[in-house]
Structure 1
Amino acid sequence: MTNPGWGGGANEGVPPRPRCVRHPDRPTALACTRCGRPACPECLREASVGYQCVDCVAAGQRDIRPVRGVAGNTVASGRVVPLVTYTLMGVNVLTFLVTVLQSRSVMNNQVGSALFLDWALNPALVAGGEWFRLIGSGFLHFGILHLAVNMYALYILGRDTEMVLGRSRYIALYLISLLGGSAAVMAFQSVFSSPTSLSWTAGASGAIFGVMGAQAVILLRLRRSPAPIISVIAINVVISVTLPGISFWGHAGGLVAGAAATAALLYAPQWLGAASDRVKAVRIGWIGLATVTVVTLGIIVLRVVQLRDQGLFLSS
């Protein structure tokens, strides 16, 4: 006895298998759990429930709002490399190596180095038109110990500050702090260290003090105790006052400028009622940084005018 339904090909009466929406030549029994479209294994990604196609995964990522930091910067989900901090350290070390090669001395690299002579900060030389000393001096160091201490402090403090503020704001903070230290030296430090020799200021300490001030403001903004960083600042201020050969004004100026810049960045949007509007808050923060920069430059310009009126200006 035979059954007529068994005649013909083996697949008669079986519906065709669905094909992958991205690869029509590939039959598949799998489907995306989000949109339900058929997809081959190559086009599926593991999700929290089942598997989703690459199109749905991409759409889901676009729908996720980026995590914002306290300064309005975008916070990366993975491990952030403090690229700016490492770059600043590299520039400082490279500058030091150039002065060592020129002076042929690791401990007294300021003697016989043309770069050191061209970049070291002195108010009279800035008043004479050598404005680059205001920034260049922040990348010079008196000997290997001076460099090592500053680079270690930058490594410890800079990475966290860069992560919180974001790279662009951190660069701005560092440069404003450096400029603030130079402004304080211009305003308060004597042109001459003795009747026959000029006073010289160099080092990244002003900028690093600015980073310390920034961390204190950040901790206050996050409603955390700033006591640890304030203790570090206090110890360093005492060292700056008691040990000879350390520029107290460079440190103090950097500290004030860095704290002021960070306060303008983090608190100005709240004070002006723009905290809920991210775009406006970011704009106000940058305006705050620009304001601190203008004030700092104003102090420098006023001091230059004063020195020129007194005849205390030189050119190398």
Structure 2
Amino acid sequence: MFSGSIPALVTPFDAHGEFIESAYRDLVEWQIAEGSAALVPCGTTGEAATLTKDEQFAIVKVCVDQAKGRVPVIAGAGSNDTRVAAANLIAAKEAGADAALMVPPYYNRPSQEGIYQHFAALAPQSPLPIVLYNVPARTVTDIQPETLIRIVSDFPELFVAVKDASGVLQRVSQHRAALGDGFCQLSGNDDLALGYNATGGVGCISVTANVAPRLCADFQAACAAGDYAKALELNDRLFALHVALFTDASPGPVKYAMTKVRPGFPEGLRLPMTWPGEAARKAVDAGLARAGL
């Protein structure tokens, strides 16, 4: 259902932490012009954890309005409370999103059965297709392959894709063995996207694409065409930037990078996120230089 380079969009804030709609609309427009295949508003990189529900889905609505159907919009909508997650799915639909990105419950640390039951409870009431988002480094909840396969097999029309940020590349093959190549697998790690695609992935929900949308789109196009020599060349250009964007708490480094490639881009973050330290800024500068940006 989805493929290619899909930025997990940053959310522009002013110095007081207020959303700047004009900057967000400009960002969406630039991303589409540069070849991004879909957009993810209000994910982790969009600082969704610091947004109220009203703010979150108002921002999704702005993204949808600016995209105007040119690319799909996958709204961040997860929660560690199953009832809240269900309400978020309705809000995402009302905001005009095409799909929802849903993490398993975080903090609660449910069992694999609890993860399954969470998503099974959402299935009969979800108005949108769901992209499962497995990011155990943040949620401390890992959707094991057997659980993901069970979820998708039981509700194949609803759970259409995974954003896999587990860092375990063999899972692409494990998922393919059970679900076939019709199940959409998207990397959640820019630095692993080359290997992920080589084993059956079809794209990446990307942090780096905020900063380098054309290079990331070209990289994904090369992978899709089977031109892994070109993909390797582009990966080598981007790799230092991929790493640099996580040398301090994200999205601090990527917002710093945005000010370099988009002069005048707002510098605001919402606490507890802070501006990256000097070492991280230097790493980002070097990564941008290596990428030719």
Q: What's the TM-score once normalised by structure 2's chain length?
A: 0.26
TM-score by length of 1: 0.25
Greater Rg by CA: 1
Larger strand fraction of residues: 2
- Tell me which protein shows more helix as a share of its residues: 1
